[in-house]
A and B are shown apart, each in its own frame.
Chain A
Amino acid sequence: MIAPKHILGTFDEALNSLRNNVLMMASLTTRSLDNALNGLQQRDDDLCATAIADDEEVDQLEKQVDKDGIDLLLRFQPVASDLRRVVSAMKLSGNLERMADQAVNIARKARKLNRHPALAEAALIDPLREHAMAMFKDSVDAFVREDIELGRGLKARDKTLDEMNANASQRLIERMAQDPEQLRGYLNLMFIARHLERVGDHATNIAEDAIYAAAAEDIRHQHEPASA
C-alpha cells in the first residue's frame, strides 16, 4: 500500500511526504531483513515467505518515491539544501530497495537451509547480523536527524563488517573441507554472510547521501591516507 498522495501544496509538504515514503521503505526493509534472519535462526519458513512477499511493497514505494521526487524537482525547481534533500531521498530509496532485495536473497537461502538438519555454524551469522543491522539503523538515523558525525562513522564500521564476513567465510570454507556432505549448507551460509556484507555497503551509501544532504559534502570514494 502506498501512502495516500496529497495535493502537494508547498515545497515543505511535498518534501515531507517524500521523506515519509522513504522512511516507510526503511521500516519495511528493516522488517523484511528481520523476518528473513529470524526465519534462518528459528528455522521458520513462514517468516522467510513473508520476507519474500513483502518485497513487492518496497518496490512499489521505490517507484512512487522516484515519481514524486521528479515531480517535485520539476514543479518547485529547488536549489541548494532543498535540492540536495530531494536528491538524497531519491538515492536513499534506491539503496533501500536493493537492501530489501538482499532480504529476499537471505530468505531464499534460509529456506534452502531449513530443508536440511540444522548446522551449528548458522551461529556464525549472528554477529554479522547484529553489526549490519546496527549500521542500517544508524545510517537511517543519520539521514533523519541529519547527523553528520553518526554518518561519518559508518565507513569504518563497514570495514569491520567486511572483516567479519571474511572471517566467517574462512571458517565455513574450513568446515566444507572437513564435512563435504554439508557443502551446500555451508555454501548457503556463506552467501547469507555475503548478503549481510552488502547490507552494510548500502548502509554506508545511505550515510554518504545523508552527509551530502546535510553538509553538501561528497565523501564517496575518498581514500584515507595510508597510515604509517
Chain B
Amino acid sequence: MGWVAFALAVALLLYGTWRVWREWISPTRQLDKLVEALNATETPATFLIGARGRMRRIGLALEEIFLRQRELHARAQEREFGVQAITGAMADGLVVADGERRVRLMNRAFREIFGVDPLTKDGSLLEIVRDAAVERLLGETLAGGAARRGTMTRPGAAGQHLEVVVEPIKDDAGTVSGAVVLFRDVTGLRQTETMRRDFVANVSHELRTPLSILRGYLETLLENPKQPPAELLRIFEVMERHSNRLNLLVDDVLSLARLEGAGATLDLTTIRPANFLRGMMRDWEKKFASKNLAAELEAADDLPPLQVDQGRLQEVVYNLFDNAVKYSETGGRIVVRATCSNNHICFSVTDSGLGIPARDLPRIFERFYRADKSRQRERGGTGLGLSIVKHIAQLHGGKVEAESEPDRGTTVRVYLPVAAVTKS
C-alpha cells in the first residue's frame, strides 16, 4: 500500500514538474528569445508561444505592439525621407531653429556652405554659423514674429556673400515657436554686378580718350584757324585716326551686344576651311607685308566642310590676324593652321611676338582686359577683339583657348564643331 502511495506521489510530482515546465519555464525562455529578437530589430519567426492562457496572450499582445511600432516607424521614415528629399534638393542652405535658438534641422546645402560635420546634430545657430548679424535677425524674428532679411559675409579675403532670410514658425495661436533660416549664396550676383559696373566704366573711359583728343585739336583749330598747311594736315590725320578708333569701338561694343543678346542668330553657309583661310590671307597680304611678316598657311584641302556664319567667322579671323600683326615685331612670322580632331575643326594663329604672361592668360578673353596696359593703347585696338572671338565661337557651339610664352609668341585656337550647327 505504502508503495502505491509513494508511486502516486512520484507520478504527481513528475506531472507537476512537467506542468510547471510547460506553463512557465519553457514559455519564459521563448519570451526571452522573442524580446531579444525584437530588441535586435529582427522580425521573429513567430509570436506564438507554445503555451496557453496568459503566456499566449502576452505573445499575441507583443505581436500587436510590434506590428504597430513597425508601421509607425515606416511612417516616420517616409516623412523623414520626404523632408530629406525636399530640403536636400534645395540649392539654398536651410536651417530650422527652435525657440531656444537651437538647430533642429539642417539641409545638405547648409552643411556645405558652413562646412558642418555630418555628425553634428545640435548646437545653437550662433555656434554653427558664428555670425552676429544672423544671430540678431533670428533674435528679432523670435521676439517680434516678423520675417527678417539681411546679408552676411563669410570671413576671409575672398568673402562669400550670403543673403539671409529668417521666417518665423508659428502655431495656430500665432505664438512663435521657432524659425526657418535660409542662406542664399549671392557671391556670383555681386560679381556680375561688379562686372557690369566695370564694363560701363571701361566703355566710358575708352570713348572719352579719343573724344578728348578730338576736342583738343578742335579747340586748337578754333582758337587759331590759320595753321600752316603741313600742321593742318597732321592735325586732320590725327583726328581721322581717333574718329576711326571711336567708330571701331562703337562697332565692337554693338557687335558684342548683338552676340550676347538673346536674339543672336547665325546665317549658316557651308565653307571649306582651307579655301576660307586662303582667301582671308590674301586679303591680309598687304598688312602682313607692311611689317615684313612671313605668313604661312598649313591647312589640308581635304578637311571636312563647316557649317558657319561666314561673316562672323571672318570677324573671328580678322581679330586674330589683327592681334598677330599688332603684337609681332617687324620681320616676325605668323603661322595659320586648320586641323581636324574629335569632330572639331581647330583654327589657330601663332605669332612670334611679345607673348602674354601666364597670369594674364586666363583673362585675355574678358572684355577690355589688357595684358600690357602701358603698351596696349599705342598699338590701337579696342580691347574687345578676343571677347568677340570667344562669343562667336560659343555661338557656333565651339570654344577658344590661348597658349603663350613671353617673348616667344602666342597661339590662339578656335574650335568649331564639324557636325551641323543646330542654332539658326
Contact = CB atoms under 8 A, between A and B. Distances in A.
Interface of A: 1, 3-4, 16, 19-20, 23-24, 26-28, 30-31, 34, 37-38, 41, 126, 129-130, 133, 137, 140, 144
A60 to B, nearest CB: 12
A147 B135 CA distance: 23
A4 B143 contact: yes
B265 to A, nearest CB: 42
Given A4-B139, A16-B124, A144-B123, A27 B156 contact: no
Contact of A133 (B130, B131, B132, B156): B156
Interface residues of B, number: 18
Nearest to A38: B157
Contacts of B126: 20, 23-24, 27
A31 B135 CA distance: 14
B136 interface: yes
A16 B155 CA distance: 24
Contact of A37 (B136, B143, B157): B157
B157 A28 contact: no
Interface of B: 100-101, 123-124, 126-127, 130-132, 135-136, 139, 143, 153, 155-157, 159
Contact of A140 (B123, B130, B136, B157): B130
A160 to B, nearest CB: 19
Given A34-B155, A34-B159, A133-B155, A144 B132 contact: no
A24 B127 contact: no
A137 B155 contact: yes
B155 A1 contact: no
Interface class of chain A by DSSP: helix
A27 B157 contact: no
Nearest to B154: A34
Given A34-B159, A133-B155, A27 B131 contact: yes
Nearest to A54: B132
Most-contacted residue by chain A among B131, B132, B155, B157 (CB, 10 A): B132
11 contacts: A3-B135, A3-B139, A16-B100, A23-B127, A24-B126, A27-B126, A27-B135, A34-B153, A41-B157, A133-B155, A144-B123
Contact of A24 (B100, B135, B153): B135
Contacts of B135: 3, 20, 23-24, 27
Nearest to B124: A20
Contacts of B153: 31, 34
A48 B127 CA distance: 27
A67 B157 CA distance: 35
A28 B132 CA distance: 6
B152 to A, nearest CB: 9
B127 A144 contact: yes
B161 to A, nearest CB: 13
B143 A129 contact: no
A96 B156 CA distance: 18
A-B pairs with lowest CB-CB distance, top 5: A27-B132, A23-B126, A144-B127, A30-B155, A24-B132
Nearest to B120: A145
A129 B157 contact: yes
A40 B127 CA distance: 29
Given A31-B155, A34-B159, A26 B139 contact: no
Contacts of B130: 23, 26-27, 30, 140
A38 B153 CA distance: 12
Contacts of A133: 155-156
Contacts of A4: 139, 143
Contacts of B127: 19, 23, 144
A140 B136 CA distance: 20
Contacts of B157: 37-38, 41, 126, 129-130
Contacts of B101: 20
A38 B131 CA distance: 18
A125 to B, nearest CB: 11
A23 B324 CA distance: 58
Most-contacted residue by chain A among B124, B126, B136, B139 (CB, 10 A): B126
B285 to A, nearest CB: 46
Contacts of A38: 157, 159
A34 B101 CA distance: 26
Nearest to A137: B155
A1 B143 CA distance: 15
